[in-house]
Structure 1
Amino acid sequence: MHLNEKTKILGRRIILVPYEARHVLKYHEWMSNEELRQLTASEELTLDEEYAMQRSWREDDDKLTFIILDAELYSRDQDEIAAMVGDTNLFLHQDPDSDHQVAEAEIMIAEPNARGKGFGREAMLLMLKYAQSESKLKLDKFEVKIDMDNTTSLHLFESFKFVETARVEVFHEVTLERSITPDWISWLDKQVELRIESY
């Protein structure tokens, strides 16, 4: 999506930057890991397919993505590739039961030594706040689809006040949703401060 192509979001411990072609090689290395693909319900792609996917993330109006950087690592030598630890995405679609716009959220901390440090929590809170505050997206609701065995992600989104709305055994998947209400926006504002710079 072109909306965020010049947007850098600064957190306390992480930085979100647009997914650029220069990030693809490391991203492709991550996605060669079968466990990561299973946890993220992703298919294995060739490097050429990965570059095509990156272009679609940039061009398509229904996709929004950021690469997650470890802010401390990045501060050392301003090397985005070395500081990459994961990504966060939104897929936008119309709710089939209403005229509401829904954003399906995803988060991945791919670097094993970056897990358990709160990076995923901060990155997802920043992504939710950015998307909720961006009037061009016209969102009414967030949702996530998580593998039943991925208890870390399930607990994460439950802590964001998402509630389970469906469980599909055949896909081994749980759907959780969060309507964007004034009360929830107030809660979100207390969790994270949105600081944006030009990228």
Structure 2
Amino acid sequence: MAHTAEIQCPRSISEEDRARAQFYQLLGTLLSAPPSSELLRGLASLQGDETLLGVASRNLAALAERTNPQDAEREYNTLFIGVSRGELLPYASYYLTGFLNEKPLAELRTDLMARGIKPRSNVHEPEDHLSTLCEIMAGIITGEFPCDRNLISQKAFFDAHLAKWAALFFTDLEKAQSAVFYTPVGSLGRVFMAIETDAFAIQ
């Protein structure tokens, strides 16, 4: 993860929250680096029902089963790294202002400081990268950080840093010219963000 906190006592969480945290963690992992062969094998075993999230999970499993790590790495680099820049820039600042390192990043840093979430010294990526935001959401849900893990705390972070742009990014990823393996990743992220948005809306 791009952020760490003091070790907290283990906290029991519901199966639903555990599943939510795992989805956030998975999305964060897939956006932070190319998938390893081990991760691809794990994704290939994903099961899904007839819900939109289940269908997206099955599609991701099918792509993972026939994707090798070398192809996945090339695709990842084309999408997110590139020679000068990748096809997509998964940063809140870019999606909300059109530029990197803008006000959304400053607001995020203020929020992280207030929550006691500290950046690791060996991470040089701006904190508003979507992989980091997903991993932080997972940590808030599981109680990894010193801040409250209740729904009010989760909703505040989601509304402030994800709600306005994450679904749009995942839609762009789903439709990206260079995406093959990452097409169902985009679908999974888009559907999951819609579920989270609807769930928080009724809180």
Q: Same fold (TM over 0.5)?
A: no
TM-score (norm 2): 0.29
Which structure has the highest helix share of the two? 2
TM-score (structure 1 length as normaliser): 0.29
